[in-house]
Structure 1
Amino acid sequence: MQRIMLAIAMWLLLTVGAVASESSMPFLDNRFRVDETVDRITFLVYRQERSKPVTLVRPDGKKYYAWRHPSHVRWIEEPTVDVITIERPMPGPWQAIGKVSPKNNIQIISQLSLKAETLPQRIYQGEKLKFTAWLMSDDEPLIVENILDRVNLRVVMTRYLEEQTQKNSQQSEKIAPVPIVIGEFFDNGEGLDERSGDGVFTVELPISVEPGKYNVRITTGNGVFLRALEQEVFIYPTPFVTRFVQGEGDTPHQVVVRGEPATLETGSLAASIELLQPDDSQSVAQDQADKGENDMVVSFHDSDQIGTYSWSGTVYANESATGRPLVFELPNRTFSVVGTIDLAKAEQMQKAAREARKKAEQEAQILAHRQQVRQNAIIAIAVGNVVLIVVGGLIWWFIRRRRAIKASLPEMQLKMPG
């Protein structure tokens, strides 16, 4: 009996030791084997702090370095870990040479996949859509400390070619649809993301594209964890209209929301409006539709400050066909508030302005007349001077001529016969 109990105890000890060895992966001399069935594999080699990147040695002895490796190898160098992904790795024993941390050693990730929620078939323009995606390894969420918080989730929407062709049917050449990035997010615990580095991306997608049929491509990666999914969706016009009515005096301002009965559940409309005052203070007004109604009004007062106000808000509703909750962001809009106008004072000010304008016109006319008189005087003086010069010249010439004639007369008299 004691021998049987001893044998069971030894078996349990060996089993527990084997399981612990497999989970922590303490490879002998930092060696690990890659199976021939593996098409893609990622190594996480944890190093001691302030150590150089490791050197990866293939089964045939060829070495890969962080700064020199072939194109099918992707290498990310972090302060305490090297993340290395290899496409079609060589089967056999591999080795990592360097100051590998004895606590963490090496982690191997295979069967990496991306899982995501299926987007609704009907999505509405202006909607804010909550969306979750998971980075998986062997059908379990991938959890890698200090790495996944830098892995990004990118959502790109591309309009289908037939939609783009119809839109540009009048043009001679077909224009390829342009991908539109509607969001790029990180597993960093910010926003709707609950935990950092847990392999779960929970994001809020702003649907700002035009209505139509789209292909949605969801990719994740940081140069190493590269995966992609694609889905087809239809973007429909916003299922409600809003109208702002500015109040006067004691009458409140109003935001009127009118939903489409065929799209939204009756009585499901609700709205929250945020008002920003000229002094940067804020106030919030909220309301919801009555039972059986598809219209609602949110009323709010300003703070009696003169200036420019801005408001934005969020509209909530449920889709009538599916009951799916919908959230829409209202864009920022502005309106101005001016002071009460005193008609008598305004008329007096207008009269004073007219008199001032008339006086200014008279002064301008007087000034112009004076300038004209001065200009005419200058012209007259200039013309008179010219005339005097010409007359003086003629007189001088005439006198000189007479003197010349008189000087020649005695000689002419001596030559005449007696």
Structure 2
Amino acid sequence: MAKLILISMVLLLGVSAPALGDEQEKLTVLAEGNEIPLLNNRFRIDHDVDKITLLFFRRQGSPAVVLVRPDGSKIYATHSLNDDNLQWHDELGYDLIVLNKPMPGPWQVVGQILPDSRIMVIGDISLQVDELPPLLFRGEIIKLTGKVLNDGEQVKIGRFRDVINMQVDFVSTNNNEYSNFGARTEHVANFKDDGRGFDERPGDAIFTGEFRLDFAAGQWRPEIALTTPIIQRKVVQEPVVVKEPPLTYELHEGAKGESHELHITLDEQLLDPQSVLLQGKIFYPNNDEQAFSLPAEQDNTRVITISNYEWGRYSLQIELYGTNSNGREFMAALPDYEFAIARPIEKVEEIAPPVSQGPTELAEQSDQPSAMSNALFYSLVVLGNVFILLAGWAAIRVLVQKKPLLGNINLLFWKKKSAQSDEQETNSSEANSDKNGSKSDKSGEILNLSMSDD
């Protein structure tokens, strides 16, 4: 059976330890001398202790402590690797040690333990957590408190906050009647006993914090776990139902120059309309912001006036404060409401049609241009085809057949030009013959070019 006691560390300066009453039988602080200077912390473990968990706080970054058994043998942190009866977790500022079947008698711890620290013997660690209400709304902000108990008593060692951590999860019940059927586990918060945020006091072993239900509506099972490097505790609560926010929206778009209106209708079956307060911000398309606040009213309808910036996207952040149907006050940061105004389409002015004429005149005027245009069109088509045929024939005759374009066609002016050319060539040849000593003269006689005997 695990035994647990919290005892103050005593520096051995020749001062006797105070009486511990009934706890003297379980654990004893020895006040006798110690040969190790400044590291003279001793305690006694009774013979009926089957399991004990020790927590030592030491200076940040200092080596792990060393345990000395009653027989003088030492236990180091590395021994936990090969010893099933020993678990050892060392961090920068503490050592958490679990001993199974420890040796009875006086023990000693050696290390740079803080002077104002305590040796903490951990027994039955338990966790007390506030019960979550059965009816919750999506977006609701929940404040939760958990207490750490050691053998049924609240832990009073401030440094214990460095060892433990509390986390909150919501697990889907996989009920096919709800929309979260088959959803994954939602991890919503980690609580620390550090006096920050909603935690009231640091080091009092009371974890206080808040979280927002920003996951899907449906049936969920809350699980709150207390975790340490060696010890884990979990509290599983009854399933709760997370509903959609108890209101509906209806947007009335304003005409040009008029404001938009967002009508919010509250669900009287889930909350009391007289207790509902609304506040938030409006974000306009031009990045302007406007805060609003709506007081409680008898009516279940609220109207938010939104300036008309014509086209663009609008967004509203809304917070709701009220009392639900079970009489529980709550606050919720509702999911953002967004809407968009489409950009108007510019209309082009229509051109006025010409003055209509009588049917007879209109028919006559329409027939004449039509007949003329048709005749001109057909004439151009015929001439174009003829030109294409002639051009194709000429190209084939000249380029492919290598024949003259006009063939054997003899024209009169071509014959006259040819005769004149022949006459000019004859005269030119005769002139050349007389000048160079031709064979015949103008009379046609043959010249004798032989030399005489004389």
TM range (shorter): 0.5 to 0.7
Q: Specify the alignment match of 1:238 in structure 2.
A: 244
Q: Distance in 2 between matches of 1:121 and 1:145?
A: 34
Structure 1 unaligned blocks of 5 or more? 1-13, 169-174, 352-379, 394-418
Query: Would the aligned equivalents of 1:150 and 1:222 in 2 still touch at CA under 8 Å?
Result: yes
Secondary structure of the structure 2 residue equivalent to 1:273 = strand
Query: Would the aligned equivalents of 1:156 and 1:180 in 2 still touch at CA under 8 Å?
Result: yes
Decide whether aligned partners of structure 1 residues 53 and 167 sit closer, same or farther in structure 2, where only a CA change above 3 A counts. same
Query: Would the aligned equivalents of 1:272 and 1:314 in 2 still touch at CA under 8 Å?
Result: yes
Alignment of 1:101-112 (within 5 A): 101-104=114-117, 106-112=119-125
1:260 counterpart = 2:271: no
Query: Would the aligned equivalents of 1:57 and 1:64 in 2 still touch at CA under 8 Å?
Result: no
Secondary structure of the structure 1 residue equivalent to 2:318 = strand
Does 1 or 2 have the higher relative contact order (CA < 8 Å, sep 6+)?
A: 1
Secondary structure of the structure 1 residue equivalent to 2:240 = strand
Query: Would the aligned equivalents of 2:135 and 2:240 in 1 still touch at CA under 8 Å?
Result: yes
- Per-residue CA deviation, residues 75-121 of structure 1 (Å, 9 max, x unaligned), is 1412xx32304164525344322233344353333332211111122
- Per-residue CA deviation, residues 3-52 of structure 1 (Å, 9 max, x unaligned), is xxxxxxxxxxx999547x99x97876322234466566443323345532
Q: Specify the alignment match of 1:313 in structure 2.
A: 318
Decide whether aligned partners of structure 1 residues 216 and 256 sit closer, same or farther in structure 2, where only a CA change above 3 A counts. same
Q: Specify the alignment match of 1:229 in structure 2.
A: 235
CA RMSD of aligned residues (A): 4.5
Q: Distance in 1 between matches of 2:296 and 2:313?
A: 29
Q: Specify the alignment match of 1:142 in structure 2.
A: 155
Tell me the CA shift for residue 133 of structure 1.
0.9
Secondary structure of the structure 1 residue equivalent to 2:401 = helix
- Per-residue CA deviation, residues 184-207 of structure 1 (Å, 9 max, x unaligned), is 333333332223333222222323
Identity of aligned residues (%): 23
Correspondent of 2:401 among 376, 388, 391 = 391
Query: Would the aligned equivalents of 1:113 and 1:137 in 2 still touch at CA under 8 Å?
Result: yes
Query: Would the aligned equivalents of 2:163 and 2:229 in 1 still touch at CA under 8 Å?
Result: no
Q: Specify the alignment match of 2:91 in structure 1.
A: 77
Query: Would the aligned equivalents of 2:223 and 2:236 in 1 still touch at CA under 8 Å?
Result: yes
Aligned residue identity for 1:330: L
Query: Would the aligned equivalents of 2:51 and 2:102 in 1 still touch at CA under 8 Å?
Result: no
Q: Distance in 2 between matches of 1:107 and 1:133?
A: 21
Correspondent of 2:190 among 180, 184, 187 = 184
Q: Specify the alignment match of 2:290 in structure 1.
A: 283
Q: Distance in 1 between matches of 2:397 and 2:87?
A: 102
Secondary structure of the structure 2 residue equivalent to 1:148 = helix
Aligned residue identity for 1:120: P
Q: Distance in 1 between matches of 2:238 and 2:136?
A: 11
- Per-residue CA deviation, residues 335-379 of structure 1 (Å, 9 max, x unaligned), is 45689x797xx536x99xxxxxxxxxxxxxxxxxxxxxxxxxxxx
Tell me the CA shift for residue 57 of structure 1.
4.1
Secondary structure of the structure 2 residue equivalent to 1:323 = coil
Q: Specify the alignment match of 1:215 in structure 2.
A: 221
Decide whether aligned partners of structure 1 residues 186 and 244 sit closer, same or farther in structure 2, where only a CA change above 3 A counts. farther
Alignment of 1:314-329 (within 5 A): 314-320=319-325, 322-329=326-333
Q: Distance in 1 between matches of 2:142 and 2:260?
A: 29
Q: Distance in 2 between matches of 1:90 and 1:319?
A: 55
Decide whether aligned partners of structure 1 residues 67 and 304 sit closer, same or farther in structure 2, where only a CA change above 3 A counts. farther
Secondary structure of the structure 2 residue equivalent to 1:267 = helix
Decide whether aligned partners of structure 1 residues 260 and 242 sit closer, same or farther in structure 2, where only a CA change above 3 A counts. closer
Aligned residue identity for 2:192: F
Aligned residue identity for 1:391: Q
Q: Distance in 2 between matches of 1:280 and 1:27?
A: 72
Q: After the TM superposition, which of the residue ranges 383-392 and 271-280 deviates more from structure 2?
A: 383-392
1:64 counterpart = 2:82: no
Secondary structure of the structure 2 residue equivalent to 1:392 = coil
Q: Distance in 1 between matches of 2:268 and 2:204?
A: 42
Q: Specify the alignment match of 1:358 in structure 2.
A: none
Decide whether aligned partners of structure 1 residues 254 and 183 sit closer, same or farther in structure 2, where only a CA change above 3 A counts. farther
Query: Would the aligned equivalents of 1:213 and 1:232 in 2 still touch at CA under 8 Å?
Result: no
Alignment of 1:4-403 (within 5 A): 17-18=18-19, 29-35=40-46, 41-48=52-59, 50-58=61-69, 61=73, 63-65=75-77, 68-69=80-81, 73-78=87-92, 81-86=93-98, 88=100, 90=102, 92=104, 93-104=106-117, 106-145=119-158, 148=161, 151-160=164-173, 163=175, 178-224=184-230, 226-238=232-244, 240-245=246-251, 247-248=253-254, 249=256, 251-278=258-285, 280=287, 282-291=289-298, 293=299, 295-302=300-307, 304=309, 307-320=312-325, 322-336=326-340, 346-347=347-348, 388-392=398-402
Q: Distance in 2 between matches of 1:214 and 1:110?
A: 32
Q: Distance in 2 between matches of 1:253 and 1:74?
A: 66
Q: Distance in 2 between matches of 1:63 and 1:381?
A: 114
Q: Distance in 1 between matches of 2:304 and 2:335?
A: 18
Q: TM-score, normalised by structure 2?
A: 0.60
Decide whether aligned partners of structure 1 residues 66 and 144 sit closer, same or farther in structure 2, where only a CA change above 3 A counts. farther
Q: Distance in 1 between matches of 2:328 and 2:192?
A: 26
Greater helix content: 1
Aligned residue identity for 1:274: K
Q: TM-score, normalised by structure 1?
A: 0.64
Aligned residue identity for 1:334: E
Query: Would the aligned equivalents of 1:125 and 1:238 in 2 still touch at CA under 8 Å?
Result: yes
Report the count of equivalent residues.
337
Query: Would the aligned equivalents of 2:64 and 2:90 in 1 still touch at CA under 8 Å?
Result: no
